[in-house]
Each structure stands twice: as structure tokens, then as C-alpha cells.
Chains A and B, each alone.
Chain A
Amino acid sequence: TQLLEQSPQFLSIQEGENLTVYCNSSSVFSSLQWYRQEPGEGPVLLVTVVTGGEVKKLKRLTFQFGDARKDSSLHITAAQTGDTGLYLCAGNDYKLSFGAGTTVTVRA
């Protein structure tokens, strides 16, 4: 049973546009993490959110954690071709449980 649901599954946008990826959990984890994975590589951590209502910014990326600590979003402003990749949310307890992932393609 998939504990974390991500949407959309695929996203293709033009360079310069904005995008948002959503992650919804059926349970509460100790924290939630976002990773980005490029072809031929393992996932790389972008951010960890712990506190309900938390907002974190990483350059053009903004991460929000819902008050109930069950939903999260990743917003990219003015996307660049280098943002292309598979974005994964993961619930973190003593191990990671991954969502299905969102494949983002940014066209030049």
C-alpha cells in the first residue's frame, strides 16, 4: 500500500514557467523529505521538513509542510532546464517510504 501519493505523475513545462508538485501522506512521519533524481544517478536530498506549517526556501524552490504534517508541496519558480528530473517525496521514520515520484521536464 502506497502511503505517500504524489501528483502529478508527469509535468512538462517551458523554461521560465512555474510548477508545483504535491505529496499527500496517509500517515504522519517523523519528517518528510524531498529528493531529486537525475538519470543514472541516485536520489539527492533537497530538503527535510519537520514542523507543521513549515516553509523552506532553496533558491527558486519553495517547500511547504501542511499544518497536520500529512501534506507537502514543492514549488519551482522560473524553472530552468537544469530542474529536469524525477522529484520524490519520502516519509522518514527509521527508514524512508517513497512516493511514486513526479517526472518533471523543462523544455528550452
Chain B
Amino acid sequence: SAVISQKPSRDICQRGTSLTIQCQVDSQVTMMFWYRQQPGQSLTLIATANQGSEATYESGFVIDKFPISRPNLTFSTLTVSNMSPEDSSIYLCSVRDPRGSNYGYTFGSGTRLTVV
């Protein structure tokens, strides 16, 4: 399965600022997924990032707040813009096993964001 390097692993940010999270995959993948996970809770999909096209956002998430870049088949970034304390959460990127979705998804270790 793919190996994902996600950074930063954690950060404490001032409200009103922005943070960019990076995900690097050790193989080429068509789709990358970005999730938000509040402490002790489940994962909520923010958006799906395809190389060469705009990301597809889930209900409740907008591009102005969570802009995504996907410059090539191994890298993506998620920016959390104009942060407020409500954005404090864990953010994770994920890719699907190239053999097919039934073989599962691999996740990065997550970025723990605290907004003060």
C-alpha cells in the first residue's frame, strides 16, 4: 500500500491566520481525499482532489475556506483559511489502494490544529 507523509503533524495558530497542510504520497494516485476529525470523533470528508481539475467539495465545505491544490499525482495541499477556534481539529489526507477501493484506503498520520 501507499505511504503518505503529512506535515505539519501539529500546529497552534492565531485566529484569522491560515495554515497549509501538505501530503506527499510515494506513488502516483488519481484521487486524494481530505478529511476533518474532531478529537474522539469520526472522520468527515472535506473534499476530493483530482490532479488537473478543481477539487470536489462535500456539503458544508467551501473552496474559499478550504482551498486545495493538486499540482501533480503525488502531492496535495489543504489550506485552512481565516481560522477560528471552531477549526481546531485533526486534518487527514487519504488515498485509495491502486488495486481498487475494496483493498482499502491509506491515511496520513494527521495534522492536529489548535486555533487560539
Question: Interface residues, chain A, CB within 8 Å of chain B?
Answer: 30-31, 33, 35, 40-45, 48, 50, 86, 88, 92, 94-101, 103
**CB pairs A–B below 8 angstroms (28 shown):** A30-B102, A33-B104, A35-B104, A40-B109, A40-B110, A42-B92, A42-B107, A42-B108, A42-B109, A42-B110, A43-B43, A43-B107, A48-B102, A48-B103, A48-B104, A50-B102, A86-B40, A88-B43, A92-B102, A94-B101, A95-B45, A96-B94, A96-B105, A97-B45, A98-B42, A99-B42, A100-B42, A103-B40
Q: Is the interface of A mostly helix, strand, loop or mixed?
A: strand
Question: Interface residues, chain B, CB within 8 Å of chain A?
Answer: 4, 33, 40-45, 48, 92, 94, 101-110, 112
> How many residue pairs between the two chains, A and B, have CB atoms under 8 Å in the bound complex?
54
When distances are taken between beta carbons in the complex, the residues of chain A under 8 Å from B44 are: 98
Partner of B33, one of A30, A95, A103: A95
When distances are taken between beta carbons in the complex, the residues of chain B under 8 Å from A33 are: 104-105
Q: Is the CB of A95 within 8 A of B41?
A: no
Between A31, A42, A48, A97, the greatest number of chain B beta carbons within 10 A of the residue's beta carbon is seen for A42
Q: Is the CB of B107 within 8 A of A95?
A: no
When distances are taken between beta carbons in the complex, the residues of chain B under 8 Å from A44 are: 107
- A98-B35 Cα distance, complex, nearest whole Å: 11
When distances are taken between beta carbons in the complex, the residues of chain B under 8 Å from A42 are: 4, 92, 94, 106-110
Q: Is the CB of B48 within 8 A of A95?
A: yes
- A37-B44 Cα distance, complex, nearest whole Å: 15
Check A41/B102 contact, CB under 8 A, given A95-B33, A100-B41.
Answer: no
Q: What is the CB-to-nearest-CB distance from B59 to chain A, in angstroms, rounded to a whole number? A: 10
